[in-house]
Amino acid sequence: MLTRLCRLALEVKYLGPAREFYESRLGLVPAFESDTEVAYEAGETTLVLRRPTAVPRGGLHTHYAFSTTREAYDGWVERLSELEPVEFSFGSSRSMYVYDPDGNCVEIGGTESAGRPDEDGASPDGTEPLTGIFEVVLEVSDLADATERYRSLGFEVVDEGEDRRRVRLSGPVDLELWEPQLGIADARGGVHVDLTFAADDARSAVEAGGPWAEGPDEVDGGLRVREADGHVLTFTEVQGECPEA
């Protein structure tokens, strides 16, 4: 039903410090920029930094994860050492956690599923580029209801937290649904996160996941809804570049 995470939007107060972090620290290159937002390509997903000037706003204190290769992981730890990253192991995979200037918890994981980076795309210090976004964490008020909502969109439950206050789902991107809490590195789930998914059929996705708190509204290239926890979901049938927000 949903084929990939097309876009993730984050809210930033000031574009200058945010751009310094994402461009100088993480080596991302702007694909689009205006007075109110800037967009970067991270594998198949567009990351958007957006000032709060209109709706939908980007997500606040969103915890999300970039992928890199296992071979490149140690280089990223060294590159970001001044930020004093928190590290954690998940079996054979390792992740590090740092914060951007707006309080988003940015994870970089050396994962088996990371794609092969472009050999000509290395950062100036030789660090291999980030290969995509593989996880987004959403804060929800009712875990059971939220889980059922995303299962209806084709996500599958792969893990439930020991405290029964979080659920991990697998799909075109891994989603973690958290009741309000602090996670690794004191991360919090994002609120009013703006996500765009490529879909085989946008209308079918809307019908499968409903009822919705707001929408569906027609937008360029798709249909947009707001779910019960305030997260904005756009379903687009455009399989190439993401439509504009």
> Which tens digit of pLDDT belongs to each residue from 63-110?
999 999 989 999 999 999 999 999 998 877 899 999 999 999 999 999
Q: Please write the tens of the pLDDT for every residue from 129-139.
A: 899 999 999 99
pLDDT value at 125 more than 90: no
With 0-12 / 13-18 / 19 or more C-beta atoms within 10 angstroms meaning exposed / middle / buried, residue 152 is: middle
Assess contact for 44 and 111: CB atoms under 8 A: no
pLDDT at residue 245, rounded to an integer? 56
Q: Which residue reads 């192991």 in tokens? A: 89
Report the alpha-carbon distance of residue 51 to residue 36 in Å, rounded: 5
Residue 193 near residue 136, CB atoms below 8 Å: yes
Rounded Cα distance between 131 and 186, Å, is 25
Q: Please say whether the dihedral angle defined by the alpha carbons of residues 177, 134, 60 and 26, taken in this order, is positive or negative.
A: positive
Assign 86 to helix, strand or coil.
strand
Task: List the one residue out of 194, 192, 191, 159 whose CA is nearest residue 174.
Answer: 159
The Cα-based distances of 13 to 19, 52, 57, 118 in angstroms read 11, 7, 11, 32
Q: Which domains does the chain have, with CATH numbers?
A: 2-236 (3.10.180.10)
- What pTM was computed for the model? 0.91
Place of tokens 């970039």: 66
